[in-house]
């Protein structure tokens, strides 16, 4: 057992390294221009709050000041089941995953509704749902066979076995990269990764605990809404999975393989590839953020290309985001996944782009800039002066 684990670290290390693309920097020239333009717009400096830093980030990602409106926003729901769901860590049975994938395809899920609200399209990718055949259509415009993206039927039960073999992990990472490439080649200029998978908050929490050196009790959350009895089962499952994953804690790719799952690995591949392809991403809840944390360790600085959408009540999301140096744009209490929390933040990104691109400058509008001198002339009349 021991020597097998050491061997697989070596194999994986080489394999993953060879498939990790270089991460480019944001465009510094565009960001300097955006920062300067922010200072010229008709508002007190900083008065647009987080929209200002967001607008500078969008300029840096697009390499353009003023930045362009987002034209093709894509929500990508990565679906996969988890063996650990069978041990009572979720409030729902694994069957719900495949049923929800059908709901996404029919346009009836929350992600479909919220995507429609912001003019985004939804794509579902079944990498490891526990059903005999993958659910399609999974390819761009429904043309690619869904088999291309299916890594396996459910990931392994992480408290007792590895989630994936080395080959499956490698394949899942490439599937994630492939999906990002397909979307970006088809014109996507903003990606919103989401996920669906009963039980997936357990591997997500385990990944965060191992990569951030936390205790099970610090990362465990209520997921779909578990009671105290299931919470105890889930905490023990995280503890047992951490014990299996501990020897790999220094290698994020191995952590994803051993205690994650095909969905989490694919999400990490997608996030890394989006960064490599200079495409901005809005992160969603705890599962996407756990994958992002691992992706940042695999491809350092990939986080430059991501912003966090909504804070999840799951404690592991806060820990992952803190480690990534990201603060969510919203704190709306969502704990649904699917990409819904990230989609809620799309209007904020659009607002950031539009204000920087469309507001008048002080010069253009003939509005006086900030008073810098002659304070005496504006001193309060004597009767209003402080008598002391
Ligand atoms: O995004 C989140 O932070 C989030 C928090 C709790 C639950 N979820 C969703 O609920 C499912 C996992 O919950 P559970 O309790 O089955 O582990 C999965 O489909 C996730 O998309 C998602
Ligand atoms: C119904 C349902 C929908 C979901 N969407 C994401 N996770 C989910 C979990 C459940 C249980």
Tens of pLDDT, residues 357-373: 999 999 999 999 888 65
Residue to mutate (ligand 2; options 224, 263, 334; most atoms within 8 A of CB): 224
Extract the runs of DSSP E, i.e. beta strands, from the chain: 73-80, 121-128, 190-196, 281-283, 306-308
ipTM of the complex: 0.99
DSSP labels, 40-72: HBSS-TTTTTHHHHHHHHHHHHHT-SSPPPP--
pLDDT at 141 over 60: no
Q: How confident is the model at residue 384 (pLDDT cuts 50, 70, 90)?
A: very low
pLDDT at 191: 99
CA 284 to chain centre: 5
Which residues form ligand 1's pocket by a CB distance below 6 Å? 90-92, 195-202, 223-224, 284-287, 312, 314, 317, 335-338
Beta-carbon contacts of 263 under 8 Å, excluding residues fewer than 6 positions away, are 78, 79, 80, 127, 128, 155, 172, 195, 197, 200, 287
Mean pLDDT of 155-159: 98
Dihedrals φ, ψ of 310, to 5°? Answer: -125, 140
DSSP-assigned letter for residue 87: G
Burial of 47 (0-12, 13-18, 19+ CB in 10 A): exposed
Mean pLDDT of 61-89: 98
Question: What SS3 class is residue 127?
Answer: strand
Mean pLDDT of 180-204: 98
Nearest to 158 by CA among 92, 96, 109, 210: 210
The tokens for 126 are 């079944």
pLDDT at 8: 34
pLDDT at 379: 53
Burial of 6 (0-12, 13-18, 19+ CB in 10 A): exposed
For the chain, domain boundaries: 70-347
- Any idea how long the chain is? 388
Mean of all residue pLDDT scores within the chain: 92
Tens of pLDDT, residues 299-348: 999 999 999 999 999 999 999 999 999 999 999 999 999 999 999 999 99
Beta-carbon contacts of 244 under 8 Å, excluding residues fewer than 6 positions away, are 158, 159, 160, 162, 258, 259
Please identify every residue annotated as catalytic.
Answer: 338
How far, in Å, are 218, 222, 243 from residue 88 at the CA level? 20, 12, 19
Mean pLDDT of 117-145: 83
Tell whether ligand 2 has an atom less than 6 A from the beta carbon of residue 111.
no
Nearest to 284 by CA among 200, 356, 188, 210: 200
Ligand nearest to the CA of 333: 1
Ligand nearest to the CA of 101: 2
Tell whether ligand 2 has an atom less than 6 A from the beta carbon of residue 226.
no
Q: How confident is the model at residue 16 (pLDDT cuts 50, 70, 90)?
A: low
Q: How confident is the model at residue 5 (pLDDT cuts 50, 70, 90)?
A: very low
Tens of pLDDT, residues 212-260: 999 999 999 999 999 999 999 999 999 999 999 999 999 999 999 999 9
Q: Give CATH for domain 70-347.
A: 3.40.50.10210
Tell whether ligand 2 has an atom less than 6 A from the beta carbon of residue 196.
yes
Distance 339 CA to ligand 2 centre (A): 12
Question: What SS3 class is residue 96?
Answer: helix
Tens of pLDDT, residues 76-112: 999 999 999 999 999 999 999 999 999 999 999 999 9
How far, in Å, are 19, 45, 308, 321, 332 from residue 52 at the CA level? 35, 9, 15, 20, 21
pLDDT at 142: 52
Distance 192 CA to ligand 2 centre (A): 17
pLDDT at 4 over 70: no
Tell whether ligand 2 has an atom less than 6 A from the beta carbon of residue 96.
yes
Query: CA-based Rg of the chain, rounded to a whole angstrom?
Result: 23
Please check whether residue 362 is in contact with residue 369, taking contact to mean a CB–CB distance below 8 angstroms: yes
């Amino acid at each position: 057992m021991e020597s097998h684990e050491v061997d697989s670290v070596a194999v994986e290390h080489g394999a993953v390294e060879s498939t990790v693309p270089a991460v480019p920097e944001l465009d510094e020239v565009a960001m300097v221009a955006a920062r300067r333009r922010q200072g010229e717009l008709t508002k007190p400096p900083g008065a647009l709050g987080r929209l200002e830093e967001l607008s500078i980030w969008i300029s840096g990602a697009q390499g353009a000041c003023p930045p362009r409106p987002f034209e093709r926003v894509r929500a990508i729901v990565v679906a996969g089941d988890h063996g650990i769901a069978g041990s009572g860590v979720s409030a729902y049975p694994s069957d719900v995953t495949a049923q929800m994938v059908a709901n996404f395809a029919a346009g009836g899920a929350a992600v479909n509704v919220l995507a429609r609200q912001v003019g985004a399209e939804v794509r579902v990718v079944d990498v490891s749902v526990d059903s005999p055949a993958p659910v399609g259509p999974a390819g761009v415009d429904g043309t690619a066979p869904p088999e291309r993206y299916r890594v396996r039927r459910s990931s392994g039960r992480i408290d007792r076995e590895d989630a994936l073999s080395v080959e499956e992990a490698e394949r899942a990472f490439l599937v994630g990269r492939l999906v990002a490439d397909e979307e970006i080649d088809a014109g996507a200029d903003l990606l919103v990764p989401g996920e669906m998978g009963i039980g997936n908050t357990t591997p997500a929490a385990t990944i965060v605990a191992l990569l951030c050196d936390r205790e099970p009790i610090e990362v465990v959350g209520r997921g779909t809404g578990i009671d105290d009895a299931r919470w105890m089962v889930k905490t023990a499952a995280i503890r047992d999975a951490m014990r299996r994953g501990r020897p790999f804690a220094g290698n994020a790719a191995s952590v994803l393989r051993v205690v994650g799952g095909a969905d989490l690995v694919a999400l990490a591949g997608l996030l890394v590839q989006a960064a490599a392809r200079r495409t901005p991403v809005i992160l969603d809840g705890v599962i996407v953020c756990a994958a992002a944390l691992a992706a940042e360790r695999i491809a350092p600085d990939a986080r430059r290309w991501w912003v966090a959408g909504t804070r999840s009540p799951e404690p592991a999301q806060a820990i992952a985001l803190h480690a990534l140096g990201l603060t969510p744009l919203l704190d709306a209490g969502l704990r649904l996944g699917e990409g819904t929390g990230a989609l809620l933040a799309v209007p904020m990104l659009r607002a950031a782009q539009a204000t920087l691109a469309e507001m008048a400058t002080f010069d253009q509008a003939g509005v006086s800039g900030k008073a810098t001198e002659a304070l005496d002339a504006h001193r309060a009349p004597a009767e209003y002066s402080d008598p002391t």
